[in-house]
Every structure is written in C-alpha cells, then in structure tokens.
A and B are shown apart, each in its own frame.
Chain A
Amino acid sequence: MDLTPTEEQRLLRESAGRFVRAQYNADARRKRAEAGEGFSAGAWREFADLGWLALPLPEAHGGLGGGAVEVGMLMEAFGEGLVDSPYVSTVILGAGAIAAAGSPAQQADLLPKIAEGALRVAFAHSERQARYNLADVATHAVKDADGWVLDGAKTAVLDADEADLLIVSARIHGNRADAKGIGLFIVPRDAEGVTLTTDLRLGGGKVSQVRLAGVRLGAGALLGGLEDALPVIEAVSDHATAALCAEAVGMMQTLVETTAAYIKTREQFGKPLSVNQALRHRMADMAVAVEEARSLALRAALFADAEPAARARAVSGAKAKIGRGARFVAEQAVQLHGGMGVTEELEIGAFLKRVVFFDAMFGGVDHHLKRHAALSAAGRAA
C-alpha cells in the first residue's frame, strides 16, 4: 500500500502544472475570454506532443496504457487553471468507448489517430427524457440490407461541434429503458441527417443538441458489433465522472488559494478581513472540503478498474460529496469576495459556472447519493 505518486506520476503532474501555469494563468484566461477564443487547435497539438492524448489509451494502439490515477493528475492540473479542452469528451468518453467496445480493426483504425491528435470524438448518449438514467435510450437503430439507420435526439453532447466523429448510442431492440439492446455507433459528424445545435457551455467549452434523422451508416458502424453496450456506457461514464471529480479538486484548490489571498489583503474597519474568525472558520471548512474531495477523487480513480458495482459506488460517492463540496467552496468564494465576487471583473464567477457544470454533468448530488444507496442496499442483500 503506497498512495504517494511514482516518479513518473510526479513528472506528469509537474509538466501538467507547468503547462497550466504558463498558458492558463489568470492573465491568459482573461485575454482568451476577452477575445472570445475557445480551445485552440495548437493547444490540442501540444496535448498530443506531451503524450496526454495517448495517456489512457491501450499500448497496442499508440497509447501509453496509463490509468485513471494518471488521468486524474492531469485533470486536477486542468481544473486549477480552468482549462476548457475537449479532453474528457475525446479521450475519456470517445476513445474510452472505442477501446472498451471496438473491434480490433476499429481500435487499430481510430485510437492511434486520437493519440496523435488527428481525430476528435464526441460521445452522444444522453437524452432529455432519460434524465440521468443511462439505460434510457429512445434513439433507435434499424438494421437493413445496407447497414443501419439511426433516428433520435441527443442532449448535453460535449464538444461535438469540433469533433470528427460522434459515438452515438441507439436502441437496437427492446423497450426504451431496457438494460439490454443498446448499441454504440460510429457516426461522422458531417453525415447526412446529423444536425447539431451548438451553444456555449456554462463554465467553458461548447455543448450540443444532436438530431439524427434517417442517418444511414454502414454495417461496420456498430462498435464491436456489440448489441449490449450498457456496461460500456456505464464504465466510460464512471471514468469520465472520476476525471471530472479530479478536475473539480483543482478548481476548489484555486478557489481556496485565491480567496485566502483576497481576504488577507482586503481591509475593512481598519484591518484585513482575514482576522475575522467567522471568515477564518469558513475558509477552514473550505480547505477541509478540498482535502476530502482530493481523497475521494483519488479513491474513485483507484476503483476505476474494479468490478462494476465497486467502481460505481466509489465514483458515485465521490461525485455526490465533491459535487456538494465544490458548490460550497465556489459559492463561499463568491461570498468572501463580497460585491467583487459577483462581477465579471474577477474570475471567481467563471469557476462557479464550471462547478455548476460539474455538479450537473452525469448527475447531481442526490442522483449519486441514491445510486450509492441502491448499490449499498444490493450489496447488503447479496
């Protein structure tokens, strides 16, 4: 048992920290926001050169074979600088699904391109009526002589506008919320019948609604020929959730540091705000929330490859508590900055927005508490 980082992990964390401090410091973020710039192709190139795109991909297909712990280290650094990259959508969700469900030929075709930075993938699974039920898929895929025809609508698709491919879940058979009968399809973003409605995403990046109307795909579009892909969808969603938890830890850390610096210098009634015990204790609770989040994000990563129920429990536990903790830290960071905290002149609000995105993505606090409780009850009954 040793939870200290290996030399390799330490170097990864340091290089990620250096990148973020150089390119995603407060000044750089402000300039980017003013110019209305999103994530640049140049930065994605740099991600590829640093080996970050290859990090969790299998070694057989140009990857480095890293795990969720390494991904978490990267994500934590991204969170510290509020990096708005399509890393989770392409590498964790998209490539993750391909690596878990793709046929050898599909993996050999797609994964090396993702690792090189030549291919971006978005994961189009969620549907409005499903809320957070991963099995609820109304989009359907009908097989005919030429291949597949997809019809349906997806929501909350991250970074789809700049993706080359969409991995789309669709029901092949069974009823709307059945666990069985869901397939994952490789759909070119510019395929006929695919319509994207893209908006800015709260906290950075883009979010799309995707309509699929009579989208014709070849017979080889079904990922791995798999007609029961729900376990894969659950696994990559859990992996992405764990990655976002680590990112949230980085965000919480920056919020605590920024707020501490502010209340030490801001003077009222002739003394710094930081001498007030009410504020000191609030900040102590914020620091405790960060440390608990750090432990639970690491725990979720350590359970990423455990059997599904254990993995899901660790991830839901982390998501529930970090969701609440991150909201607390971000809202209190606004509060302790006073009037300035609610202005666009400071960045605190940008972090708060990303926290709201984090809390909603893959299900909020109550959803994950319920999932944790249901899994625990099932474990007790077994």
Chain B
Amino acid sequence: MNFSFSDEEKAFREEVREFLASVLTPDMKRAQGMTPSVFSDKEISDPWHRALASKGWAAPGWPPEAGGPTWTPAQRWIFATECAKAGAPSVSPMGVAMVGPVIIRFGTPEQKAKYLPRILNGEDYWCQGYSEPGSGSDLASLKTRAVRDGDHYVINGTKIWTTHAHHANMMFALVRTDDTGRKQEGISFILIDMTSPGITIRPILTIGGDHEVNQVFFDDVRVPVENRIGEEGLGWTYGKYLLEFERGGGIAAARLRRGLQHVIELANGEAPGQPIDDPALAMKISEIEIDIDALELTELRIMSALQTGQNPGAVSSLLKLRNSEIKQAVTRLAVDVLGYDALVWEPTRPLYGLNRATLPEIELPVVPEYLNSRAFTIFGGSSEVQRDIIAKLMVGL
C-alpha cells in the first residue's frame, strides 16, 4: 500500500498542469465558473475538446487503437482531478464517454471508422435518446418504434430529457423493434442523424433557468439499417453497458472540492449570509469536506483495484449516489452563505454573457446551480434506483 504518487505519476501530473496552464484561457475559466450545470455550454466545451484532441487526450478511457491515450487508471484519476482543480470545462460526455465505448465494443469496422474519429476530434456532437415521457426509471418500457422498411428503419415516437439535442447532429437511441417478448427484448440501439426529416425538437426550460434538455419527436424518420449497433433486439444489453460508463465516471471528488472552495470564497466575500467565521458554517463546511474525503478515498481505492487488475465490485451506484448527494449539499450551503443575495434572480443565459448584473460575478451562478443540481439525484438513474441496485448488489438482498 502506497499513499503517494510514483515519480512517473508525478511527472505526468506536471505535464497535465503545464498543458492546462497553456490552453485554459481566463475567458474559458470564467465561463466555466459561471456555468450552473454539470454540462458545459457547447461554446465553451468545443474549444476545450479541440485542445484536448490535438494533445491526444480527448478520450481517456478509449483503447489506443481507437485513439485513446493508453493511460493507467492512476493517470486518468490525476488528469480528471487536475482538470477539476484548474476549473476546466467538461467535455460533452455523450460522445466520448457514452456512445464511443459502445461503438468500440459492439460496432462494425465500418461504424468504428466512420464515427470514432469524428467523436475524438469533436466534429460530431451527440445526444442520448433513452428516456421517454412514459419511461423514466423503468427505461425498458420504452415505446418509440422502429419499423423495418427495406434497408431503413422508420422511427415514430418521442424522447425526453435529451440534453443538448438542440446542439447535437447525432443521437444514439434505444428504440423498440419488437414487442412480442419480455420488455427488455425487442429493443435496438441505433444512431440517428439529427438533420433527418421528421425530427422536431421542443426545448424544456428547467428550474435553474437553463435550456439544457429537450423533448425530441420522431415522425416517420428514416434511418439506414447500417446505423444499428450490433444485433437487432439486443439494444438493452448495449444500453446497459453504456449506463455502466455513465455512472462509473468515478472521479468526482475534485470537482466537489472545487465547489466547496467556492462556498468558502463566497463566505469570505461580501455575501450577506453566514460569514466564514460563523462556527455553525465552519461545522457544515467540515461535514461536507469529510464527505468529500470519504468519496475521494473510495475513488482511490477503486482506482487502485483497477490499476492492479482487480474487480472493484459493484461500486458505480455508490459513487453516483454519494456524488449527487454531496453536490446538492454543497450547492445548498452556497445558497445559505448568499443570504439576502439569494433573492435576486438573474434570468439571462449564459451567465458569462452578462456584462453587468446586480450581484457580483462569484454570486451569480449560486442559485441557478442549486436549482440545477436538484437533477443530480434524478438523472442517470435516480437515487431510489441506485439504492435498489446497492441493496441487490452490495447487500445481496
């Protein structure tokens, strides 16, 4: 057991820090700091993605033959942690972290050749077509139909909560190709060109004032059969594989720590709520910091297991549950520190586009972020679903 990084790992950390110092502009950091969402706006994430791609660092989890950087789990942890510390934007996860691994694992050589380079260099912007108005936690009940017509599928139905559908030119979706068997059977995984005729996007405004998610309608949308991943009817298997990636991000502590640092800065500033020398606030900060310490050490234990070729077990639900709950605790505390400034509502988006506002810049994203973060315990499998999984897999019930 060794609690410090090796010389090689330290050298890598230095390389990451130098890279971050050279590509992260003050504008980028300011914009990211004023983004209330876990998803960076496309206009911030695009230049960031291009900078990473030109360094060969856009897809940390991919194998080298697909263009991944052949990092060890420790290097991935260091990279994610340093990015968070530096206040870097996040790369849109739908391409690199979600559909990419599915194409790598289950795609044909043609599909890999066509899509992977475009994901890697950020040319394609992906969105995820999973949830439907009638299918939330019970995802397998989805009803959007794909009916075979020659060498096309004809798609009818609707998807909801589609993050950045209004930016995306591609969607990966679960669609029903058969409804005669169990509901998990008869689902297929398909890639849809968002410019296809018959697609309509309806924006959904969320309580934080952001337009992130949408409802997408399909009206006789024709998609070539060659856009199907793997076999017809096995989409549920591929979709679950992807969800493991969605949940198993596993490197969240550093971003939470940065959020808590933001709370401390607010309390050190002029916000009229609890000041930093309030002992009650200090106790709350400590409680959250200890929660983050626990999460970080858990991440490091998992990283160590992966590094030595061991199976870390069913931990992705635990990480997702705690990350989301701590995130909400951080944003809630930030609102407390704001005091009366929490009453001022700024509807303009993006916030970094504002030249002047009543509140100082450091306070502007606080209430929107608090409201936005309510979704953390809902998306990607709600906390209730995560507890079901933990009870089953970790407790053995």
Q: Is A263 an interface residue (CB 8 A)?
A: yes
Query: A281-294 interface mask toward B, CB cutoff 8 Å, 1 = contact, 0 = none?
Result: 10111111001100
Query: A5-32 interface mask toward B, CB cutoff 8 Å, 1 = contact, 0 = none?
Result: 1100100000000000000000000000
Query: B287-304 interface mask toward A, CB cutoff 8 Å, 1 = contact, 0 = none?
Result: 101110111011011011
A373 contact from B77, B279, B387, B391, Cβ within 8 A: B279
Q: Is A274 an interface residue (CB 8 A)?
A: yes
B290 contact from A2, A296, A380, Cβ within 8 A: A296
With both beta carbons as reference points, the residue of chain A lying nearest to B3 in the complex is identified as A302
Q: Is A117 an interface residue (CB 8 A)?
A: no
Minimal beta-carbon separation of B378 from chain A (angstroms): 16
Q: Is A317 an interface residue (CB 8 A)?
A: yes
B391 contact from A6, A9, A283, A321, Cβ within 8 A: A283
The docked-state distance in angstroms from the alpha carbon of A374 to that of B291 is 17
Minimal beta-carbon separation of B72 from chain A (angstroms): 10
The docked-state distance in angstroms from the alpha carbon of A292 to that of B264 is 24
Q: Is B9 an interface residue (CB 8 A)?
A: yes
Minimal beta-carbon separation of A370 from chain B (angstroms): 7
The docked-state distance in angstroms from the alpha carbon of A142 to that of B392 is 63
A274, A373, A377 interface centre (most CB from chain B within 10 Å): A373
With both beta carbons as reference points, the residue of chain A lying nearest to B386 in the complex is identified as A284
Q: Is A4 an interface residue (CB 8 A)?
A: yes
Contact indicator B318/A3 (Cβ below 8 Å): no
Q: Is A1 an interface residue (CB 8 A)?
A: yes
Contact indicator B396/A288 (Cβ below 8 Å): no
Contact indicator A373/B1 (Cβ below 8 Å): no
With both beta carbons as reference points, the residue of chain A lying nearest to B390 in the complex is identified as A284
With both beta carbons as reference points, the residue of chain B lying nearest to A320 in the complex is identified as B290
Contact indicator B1/A321 (Cβ below 8 Å): no
The docked-state distance in angstroms from the alpha carbon of A317 to that of B292 is 11
With both beta carbons as reference points, the residue of chain A lying nearest to B294 in the complex is identified as A292
User: Which residues of chain A are near B394, meaning CB under 8 Å?
Assistant: 284, 287, 291
Contact indicator B397/A3 (Cβ below 8 Å): no
Contact indicator B304/A287 (Cβ below 8 Å): no
Q: Is A280 an interface residue (CB 8 A)?
A: yes
Contact indicator B397/A296 (Cβ below 8 Å): no
User: Which residues of chain B are near A274, meaning CB under 8 Å?
Assistant: 397
B298 contact from A295, A302, A376, Cβ within 8 A: A295
Contact indicator A317/B283 (Cβ below 8 Å): no
Contact indicator A1/B282 (Cβ below 8 Å): no
Q: Is the interface of A mostly helix, strand, loop or mixed?
A: helix
Partner-contacting stretch, out of B36-44, B112-120, B137-145, B305-313: B305-313
Residues 272 to 319 of chain A near chain B (Cβ within 8 Å): 274, 277, 280-281, 283-288, 291-292, 295-296, 298-299, 302, 314, 317-318
Q: Is B6 an interface residue (CB 8 A)?
A: yes
| Contact-residue bracket for chain A | 35 or more
Contact indicator B283/A298 (Cβ below 8 Å): no
Query: B305-343 interface mask toward A, CB cutoff 8 Å, 1 = contact, 0 = none?
Result: 101101000010010011000000000000000000000
Contact indicator A296/B294 (Cβ below 8 Å): yes
Contact indicator A2/B2 (Cβ below 8 Å): yes
The docked-state distance in angstroms from the alpha carbon of A5 to that of B301 is 10
B286 contact from A285, A299, A314, A376, Cβ within 8 A: A376
User: Which residues of chain A are near B77, meaning CB under 8 Å?
Assistant: 1
With both beta carbons as reference points, the residue of chain A lying nearest to B290 in the complex is identified as A317
Contact indicator B384/A1 (Cβ below 8 Å): no
Contact indicator B387/A284 (Cβ below 8 Å): yes
Contact indicator B298/A287 (Cβ below 8 Å): no
With both beta carbons as reference points, the residue of chain B lying nearest to A321 in the complex is identified as B290
Q: Is A69 an interface residue (CB 8 A)?
A: yes
Residues 59 to 104 of chain A near chain B (Cβ within 8 Å): 69
Q: Is A232 an interface residue (CB 8 A)?
A: no
Contact indicator B286/A295 (Cβ below 8 Å): no
Q: Is A149 an interface residue (CB 8 A)?
A: no
Known contacts: A1-B5, A299-B297, A373-B283. The answer to whether A317 contacts B289 by CB under 8 A is yes
A–B Cβ pairs within 8 angstroms, 19 of them:
A1-B5, A2-B304, A2-B307, A3-B303, A256-B395, A264-B397, A281-B387, A284-B387, A291-B318, A292-B298, A295-B301, A298-B301, A314-B293, A317-B293, A369-B286, A372-B290, A373-B282, A380-B264, A380-B276
Task: Report, nearest first, the 7 A-B pairs whose CB atoms are least far apart.
Answer: A295-B297, A280-B391, A373-B282, A284-B387, A284-B390, A3-B304, A317-B290
B→A interface (CB under 8 Å)? 1-6, 9, 74, 77, 264, 276-277, 279, 282-283, 285-287, 289-291, 293-295, 297-298, 300-301, 303-305, 307-308, 310, 315, 318, 321-322, 384, 386-388, 390-392, 394-397
